[in-house]
Amino acid sequence: MRKFLLIPDSFKGTMSSGEICSIMEDAIINNYPDAEVISIPVADGGEGSVDAFLKAMGGEKVTVTVKGPYFEDMEAFYGVIDQGKTAVIEMAACAGLPLVEHNPDPSKTTTYGVGQLIMDAIHRGCSKIIMGLGGSCTNDAGTGAAAALGIIFTDTAGNAFIPVGGSLKDIAKVDISKLLPELKDIELITMCDIDNPLFGETGAAYIFGPQKGATPDIVKELDAGLKHIDQVVQKDLNLSLANLKGAGSAGGMGFGMVAFLGSSLQMGIETVLDTVKFDEMLTNVDYVLSGEGKIDTQSIRGKVVIGIANRTKKANVPLIAIVGDIGDGIEEAYEKGVSGIFSINRVAVEFKDAKKRARQDLYLTVDNVMRFIKRIDER
Amino acid sequence: MRKFLLIPDSFKGTMSSGEICSIMEDAIINNYPDAEVISIPVADGGEGSVDAFLKAMGGEKVTVTVKGPYFEDMEAFYGVIDQGKTAVIEMAACAGLPLVEHNPDPSKTTTYGVGQLIMDAIHRGCSKIIMGLGGSCTNDAGTGAAAALGIIFTDTAGNAFIPVGGSLKDIAKVDISKLLPELKDIELITMCDIDNPLFGETGAAYIFGPQKGATPDIVKELDAGLKHIDQVVQKDLNLSLANLKGAGSAGGMGFGMVAFLGSSLQMGIETVLDTVKFDEMLTNVDYVLSGEGKIDTQSIRGKVVIGIANRTKKANVPLIAIVGDIGDGIEEAYEKGVSGIFSINRVAVEFKDAKKRARQDLYLTVDNVMRFIKRIDER
C-alpha cells in the first residue's frame, strides 16, 4: 500500500492549501484506491492559519473577547494544539483588514487584542505560542500587543498611553519592567515570510500602508513613526532591529514581536514543519507532494517547496512539486531535493484564463503523474 | 545502461520532428550520459519526409530529372532505403507549393513528375514504394502521375491528353490497359493523414484550393473537375472512391493513387512504424518518447502518439508523450498505452508567446521527466 504525504502551499489568489490537498487526494485515490494519504495544509500566518494547523494536527479552537482594531470589544479566537501545549494565533483574528473594511486607517488601529490573545494562551498553560502575521490592518509596530502584555509607553510629559500608528511619534520612553513575567518561559515563534525592513522605501508603511487604506500623507506619517519607535527602542532597550528581515511585516508587528516580546522570526514553512513533526511523519512515506503558485529563483531562496525539499532529501523520500508556473533557472531546485516539477499549465493560455481552469488542471496534472509513477513502478 | 527510443511528430509550425529528437536527446544525455538513444524523425508525407526516412534508416538519395508543376524539366529526388528494396517519394519534390511560389495556379499544374519518380524507382528495382502526399501545388487528382505511368486519358473527340486541374472536366474516357506492367508487382503505399473526400464542401478544392492560389471561381471549377473524374472512374474502372477517407488529399492525389495505381492509403505513422520495423526496434528499450503539438480527442482517433502507443503497449514499454497543449477529455490515451503526458507549457502565456520559448521549454520538460524517472528508479 502506498503512502502519500501532501503539503502544498496555497496558489495565492487561486486555491487555498487545503483545497489543493483535497484535489490532490482525489487524483491519488483515482490511481491508488487503497493509498494512505496524509494532508498538511500549509499555514502562511494570515487568515486561515489557525484552521490549517487544526486540520493538520487536530486540537481545539478557543474563543476570547478581546479588543478589536478600534479598541472595541470583539470575539476573537486562537487554536490550541499538541495536547494543549502550543497555541496558534493569527493576528488577523482581531487586527485583520476585513474587520475595518468600511473604515480602514492604519494610523488609528491597534494590535492590543493580539496581546490579549497571547495573554489568554499563557494563562491557559500553553508553553509555546506560534504567531501568524499577515492580513493586518495595523501599523503600530506591535506596541498595542506589547501594551496589553504590560509594557509601558510614555510620552514626553511622562504620561502612559497605548500607541497606534499615528501616535508612535509621541513615544518618549518604553519601559519593559512590567512585562508579564510568564512570557520569559514561553517559546514564542513568529511566522514571517517577508523580508521588508521596518521603515524606509521598502518598509512597512510605504509598501503595505496603501493597501491598508493609508493616503500618501498618512504613509509618510506612519513611516516617520516607525523610524521614531526604532530610535526609542535603540535608546531604551539597546536593540537595533529596523533592518531585521521581516521587521516591517504586518505594520511593524515583526519588529514589535522581537523587540518587546523576545520572539524569534521564522519562515512559515519551517514553523509548520517543526510543529507537525514533519521529519517523523516521513516514516514509510512513498511520495511527498508539494507545490506553490510559481516556482522561481526566489522560491529557491527558501519558500515552501524548497523548505520541504531540505527535509525529504535527508529522509530520501521523493518530492513531487506541482506548480502553476515554472520560472527560468530553477534547476537548483533538483539539487535541493525536488524530484520532479510539474506545471498545471496544460494549454497555452494567459494566467487570467489559466486561473479559471486551475482546479481541473491541478486534478489532471496530479492524475497524470500518478498514472506515470504507477506505470514505472509496475515495469 | 538505459535505452531510449525517440519518435516524436513535429510540432507543426514550431519544431520539426528531427529538431525535437535532437533536443530530447540532449535532455536525456544530461541525465543519463551513457544512455543509448535512437531517434526516428517522423515523416508526415510532406516536405522533408524523404530526409526523415533516410535519417531514421540510412539509405541513398537519388536525383532524377522529371517534369515540374508546369511541365518544365527540373531536378527532383527520392530516397532509397532498406538495401535498395524500398523507395520513399515525397510528391512535393516535383509538385510542391514552394516550386510555384510566384505563379501558383492549381488549375494548371501537374503531378506528371511524381509518376516519373515512381517509374524511376521501379526501374531501379525497388519492390516497394512509399508515397508521401502533402505540400502539393496541384489539383489534378493524380491524373498527371497516372499519365506518366501509361494511363491514357482521352477527350470526347478521342484525343489523348494529360489532364490538369482545369481540364479534368474534359476527360471522357480513362484507359488503364497501357499502365506500366511492373506496377502490379510493386507494393505501393500512400501516406495519408487527412480524411477529406474528393469533392464537395469538405473536398480537395474547397478546403485546400485557396491555399494553393485558387480564386473562388477556380475553386468551383476544380471541384467540378474532381466530381467529373470520379464519374469517369466509376464508369470506366468500376470504382467509387470519392468518399474514401483521404481521397481529397493533395488535390485529389489520394484518389488518383488508389484509382489509377492501385495504391493503399495508410496513416503516415503506421507506414513509418512498419517501415522502420518499429516492433523489432523496441527490444530492450526502456522508454519510448513521443509527442505532438497538441494531444486531443482527435489525436486519440489515430495520430502519431496513439499509433505508437498501440505498439509500445503490446511490447510493455512505457511511452512518454511530450506535447504542446493537452486537450480536455484525453484520458482514453492512457488506456491506449500512453504512460504519461507532459506539456511543455511551463508558464501561463498565449500560444504566440509559448511558441517562442518552445525549444527551451521542450528541453527543460524532458530534462524534468528524466530527472524524475531517475529519482524513482534510484529509490
Above 90 in pLDDT, residue A377?
A: no
Above 90 in pLDDT, residue A299?
A: no
A377 touches chain B (CB under 8 A): yes
Taking only the tens place, the pLDDT of each residue in B234-292 is 999 999 999 999 999 999 999 999 999 999 999 888 999 999 999 999 999 999 999 99
Q: Stretch A71-86: mean pLDDT, rounded? A: 97
Per cent of chain A over pLDDT 70 is 99
Mean pLDDT of chain B: 95
Three-class SS of residue B249? Answer: coil
Kindly tell me the burial class for residue B123, based on how many C-beta atoms sit within 10 Å of its own C-beta (0-12, 13-18, 19 or more).
Answer: exposed
Q: What is the maximal distance between C-alpha atoms in chain A?
A: 80
Above 80 in pLDDT, residue A243?
A: yes
Q: So what's the pLDDT on residue A80?
A: 98
Q: So what's the pLDDT on residue A43?
A: 83
Measured CA to CA, the distance from residue A278 to residue A338 in angstroms comes to: 16
Q: Does domain B49-268 have CATH number 3.90.1510.10?
A: yes
B77 touches chain A (CB under 8 A): no
Chain region(s) in chain B for CATH 3.90.1510.10: 49-268
Mean pLDDT of chain A: 95
Q: Sign of dihedral through CA atoms A177, A183, A189, A190? A: negative
Q: Stretch B170-187: mean pLDDT, rounded? A: 96
Our CA-based measurement puts residue A10 at a distance from the nearest CA of chain B, in whole angstroms, of: 17
Answer CATH for B3-40+276-378 from 3.30.200.20, 1.10.10.1100, 3.40.50.1100, 3.40.50.10350? 3.40.50.10350
Q: Is B325–A318 a contact, with Cβ atoms under 8 angstroms apart?
A: no
Query: Which chain B residue has its CA at the smallest distance from A316's CA?
Result: B379
Above 90 in pLDDT, residue A58?
A: yes
Query: Which chain B residue has its CA at the smallest distance from A287's CA?
Result: B376
Query: Which chain A residue has its CA at the smallest distance from B337's CA?
Result: A375
Residues of chain B found within 8 Å of residue A320, distances taken between Cβ atoms? 372
Query: Which chain B residue has its CA at the smallest distance from A335's CA?
Result: B371
Q: Stretch B375-379: mean pLDDT, rounded? A: 82
Residues of chain A found within 8 Å of residue B341, distances taken between Cβ atoms? 368
Q: So what's the pLDDT on residue B303?
A: 78
Q: Give the number of other Cβ atoms within 10 Å of residue B85's Cβ.
A: 12
Q: Stretch A28-56: mean pLDDT, rounded? A: 93
Measured CA to CA, the distance from residue A237 to residue A151 in angstroms comes to: 12
Q: Between the ranges A39-43, A95-99, B353-357, B375-379, where is the mean pLDDT highest?
A: A95-99
Of the pLDDT bands very low, low, confident and very high (cuts 50, 70, 90), residue A169 is: very high
Q: Is B340–A364 a contact, with Cβ atoms under 8 angstroms apart?
A: no
Give the type of residue at A364: L
Q: Stretch B197-205: mean pLDDT, rounded? A: 97
Q: So what's the pLDDT on residue B377?
A: 81
Q: Is A334–B371 a contact, with Cβ atoms under 8 angstroms apart?
A: yes
Query: Which chain B residue has its CA at the smallest distance from A293's CA?
Result: B347
B354 touches chain A (CB under 8 A): yes
Q: So what's the pLDDT on residue B300?
A: 73
Residues of chain B found within 8 Å of residue A378, distances taken between Cβ atoms? none
Residue B199 φ/ψ, nearest 5 degrees? -135, 180
Mutate to test the interface with A, among B4, B320, B343 (most CBs of A within 10 A): B343
SS3 letters across chain A: CCEEEECCCCECCCECHHHHHHHHHHHHHHHCCCCEEEECCCCCCCCCHHHHHHHHHCCEEEEEEEECCCCCEEEEEEEEECCCCEEEEECHHHHEHHHHCCCCCCCCCCCHHHHHHHHHHHHCCCCEEEEECCCECCCCCCHHHHHHCCCEEECCCCCEECCCHHHHHHCCEEECCCCCHHHHHCEEEEECCCCCCCCCCCCHHHHHCHHHCCCHHHHHHHHHHHHHHHHHHHHHHCCCCCCCCCCCCCCCHHHHHHHCCCCEEECHHHHHHHHCCHHHHCCCCCEEEECCCEECHHHHCCCHHHHHHHHHHHHCCCEEEEECEECCCCCHHHHHCCCEEEECCCCCCCHHHHHHCHHHHHHHHHHHHHHHHHHHHHC
Considering only the beta carbons, identify the residue of B325, B340, B347 that sits closest to A346: B325
CA dihedral B318, B311, A362, A367 (to 10 degrees): -60
Q: Stretch B24-51: mean pLDDT, rounded? A: 93
Give the type of residue at A148: A
Taking only the tens place, the pLDDT of each residue in A90-146 is 999 999 999 999 999 999 999 999 999 999 999 999 999 999 998 999 999 999 999
The model's pTM is 0.83
Q: Is A345–B342 a contact, with Cβ atoms under 8 angstroms apart?
A: no
Kindly tell me the burial class for residue A36, based on how many C-beta atoms sit within 10 Å of its own C-beta (0-12, 13-18, 19 or more).
Answer: middle
Q: So what's the pLDDT on residue A216?
A: 97
Q: Is B343–A343 a contact, with Cβ atoms under 8 angstroms apart?
A: yes
Q: Stretch B320-349: mean pLDDT, rounded? A: 94
Q: So what's the pLDDT on residue A342?
A: 98
Our CA-based measurement puts residue A304 at a distance from the nearest CA of chain B, in whole angstroms, of: 19
Give the type of residue at B27: A
Q: So what's the pLDDT on residue B378?
A: 75
Chain region(s) in chain A for CATH 3.40.50.10350: 3-40+276-378
Residues of chain A found within 8 Å of residue B325, distances taken between Cβ atoms? 346-348
Residues of chain A found within 8 Å of residue B364, distances taken between Cβ atoms? 326
Three-class SS of residue B343? Answer: strand
Measured CA to CA, the distance from residue B143 to residue B252 in angstroms comes to: 9
Taking only the tens place, the pLDDT of each residue in B277-303 is 999 999 999 999 999 999 988 777 667
Helices (H), B32-129: 49-57, 92-95, 112-123
Q: Stretch A234-247: mean pLDDT, rounded? A: 95
Our CA-based measurement puts residue B14 at a distance from the nearest CA of chain A, in whole angstroms, of: 14
Of the pLDDT bands very low, low, confident and very high (cuts 50, 70, 90), residue A268 is: confident
Q: Stretch A252-274: mean pLDDT, rounded? A: 94
Q: Stretch B118-123: mean pLDDT, rounded? A: 98
Query: Which chain A residue has its CA at the smallest distance from B323's CA?
Result: A346
Q: Stretch B222-232: mean pLDDT, rounded? A: 98
Q: Stretch A261-286: mean pLDDT, rounded? A: 93
Of the pLDDT bands very low, low, confident and very high (cuts 50, 70, 90), residue A44 is: confident
Residue A317 φ/ψ, nearest 5 degrees? -110, 130
Q: So what's the pLDDT on residue B301?
A: 66
Q: How many contacts (CB atoms, under 8 Å) link A and B?
A: 84
Q: Is B347–A334 a contact, with Cβ atoms under 8 angstroms apart?
A: no
Of the pLDDT bands very low, low, confident and very high (cuts 50, 70, 90), residue A301 is: low
Q: So what's the pLDDT on residue A366?
A: 98
Residues of chain A found within 8 Å of residue B353, distances taken between Cβ atoms? 348
User: Which value does ipTM take for this structure?
Assistant: 0.79
Residues of chain B found within 8 Å of residue A295, distances taken between Cβ atoms? none
Which three cell numbers mark B65? Answer: 530529372
Residues of chain A found within 8 Å of residue B332, distances taken between Cβ atoms? none
Give the type of residue at A360: Q
B123 touches chain A (CB under 8 A): no
Considering only the beta carbons, identify the residue of B346, B348, B364 that sits closest to A351: B348
Q: Give the number of other Cβ atoms within 10 Å of residue B187's Cβ.
A: 13
Our CA-based measurement puts residue B286 at a distance from the nearest CA of chain A, in whole angstroms, of: 9
Query: Which chain B residue has its CA at the smallest distance from A315's CA?
Result: B379
Q: Stretch B65-93: mean pLDDT, rounded? A: 97
Q: So what's the pLDDT on residue B46?
A: 86
Q: So what's the pLDDT on residue B193?
A: 83
B371 touches chain A (CB under 8 A): yes
Q: So what's the pLDDT on residue A67?
A: 98
Query: Which chain A residue has its CA at the smallest distance from B373's CA?
Result: A376
Query: Which chain A residue has its CA at the smallest distance from B343's CA?
Result: A346
Residues of chain B found within 8 Å of residue A375, distances taken between Cβ atoms? 318, 339-340
Of the pLDDT bands very low, low, confident and very high (cuts 50, 70, 90), residue B61 is: very high
Per cent of chain B over pLDDT 70 is 99
Q: Is A375–B339 a contact, with Cβ atoms under 8 angstroms apart?
A: yes
Q: So what's the pLDDT on residue A29?
A: 97
- In order of A65, A94, A372, the CA distances from A73 in angstroms are 6, 10, 55
Q: Is B334–A373 a contact, with Cβ atoms under 8 angstroms apart?
A: no
Q: Is A379–B318 a contact, with Cβ atoms under 8 angstroms apart?
A: yes
Q: Stretch B210-230: mean pLDDT, rounded? A: 97
